[in-house]
């Protein structure tokens, strides 16, 4: 009798088929996305009505992972920026993505000073990571801030997210600013965000900025932005 053998073979085939269907039903590992830049300043100085719009300085992204840097005082830094602040160190960002689509982003500046804002800082760097397998979560952010003084006040970073302080004659500062974008759930981290007092300047000063996101499919637009909520 061959029925037992055929039955066994049929069960084996069915098992393989079921395994194949189960494997096909498992979602593919999420593709990581990210971007970074060293600084972005869009502001108008009140006293001189001088407008500065640097765009994103030293940008990188996971579409072309690399390190990008601009040495302070070189032609890569718009000359008009000196009316707001001076970067004597480096503006730099790095985007990296590994074989498992995990993303690491870093962006920041070193040796920054400003007479207008009475600011001095040694290091202002934002970091984020995206664990591609943990869709839609797996996003973490942090900032490195050293030797920061603003308005004559020494600022001690607590490590808390969105550490906010208002300084007379300068404006509102946010350290380790982290926001989640409502459209794609990506995470944006700014090491230092300055919203100047209108009597000093108007606009936004971002020093060190990164964005990380993880998706089953790449987004149709670059992740991040300012439409999120803390």
**pLDDT tens column, 10-66:** 444 444 444 443 333 334 455 678 999 999 999 999 999 999 999 999 999 998 899
pLDDT band at 170 (very low <50, low <70, confident <90, very high): very high
The pLDDT value given to residue 229 = 41
Using alpha carbons only, how large is the chain's radius of gyration in Å?
24
Dihedral over Cα of 86, 56, 37, 40: its sign = positive
Q: What is the pLDDT of residue 136?
A: 59
The total of other beta-carbon atoms located within 10 Å of residue 130's CB is 31
* Angstrom distance (rounded) from CA 59 to CA 67: 9
Closest CA to 177 of 225, 142, 136: 142
Query: Burial of 79 by CB count in 10 Å (0-12 exposed, 13-18 middle, 19+ buried)?
Result: exposed
DSSP symbol at 198: T
Interval 75-105: pLDDT, tens: 899 999 999 999 999 999 999 999 888 899 9
pTM (whole model) above 0.95? no
Contact 152, 118 (CB under 8 A): yes
Mean pLDDT, the chain, rounded, equals 84
């Amino acid at each position: 009798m061959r029925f037992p053998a055929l039955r066994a073979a049929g069960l084996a085939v069915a098992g393989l088929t079921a395994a194949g269907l189960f494997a096909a039903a498992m979602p593919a590992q999420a593709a990581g996305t990210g971007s970074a830049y060293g600084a972005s300043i869009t502001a108008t100085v009140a006293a001189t009505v001088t407008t500065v719009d640097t765009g994103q300085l030293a940008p990188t992204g996971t579409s072309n992972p690399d390190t990008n840097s601009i040495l302070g005082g070189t032609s890569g830094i718009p000359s008009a920026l000196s009316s707001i602040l001076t970067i004597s160190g480096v503006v730099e960002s790095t985007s990296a993505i590994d074989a498992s689509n995990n993303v690491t982003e870093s962006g920041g500046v070193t040796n920054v000073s400003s007479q207008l804002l009475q600011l001095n800082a040694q290091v202002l760097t934002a970091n984020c990571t995206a664990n591609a397998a943990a869709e839609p979560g797996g996003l973490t952010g942090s900032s490195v801030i050293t030797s920061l003084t603003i308005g004559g006040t020494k600022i001690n970073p607590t490590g808390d997210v969105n550490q906010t302080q208002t300084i007379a004659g300068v404006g509102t500062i946010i350290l380790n600013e982290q926001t989640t974008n409502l459209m794609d759930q990506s995470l944006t981290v700014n090491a230092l965000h300055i919203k100047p007092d209108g009597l000093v300047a108007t606009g936004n000063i971002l020093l060190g900025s990164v964005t990380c996101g993880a998706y089953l499919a790449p987004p149709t637009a670059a992740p991040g932005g300012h439409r999120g909520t803390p």
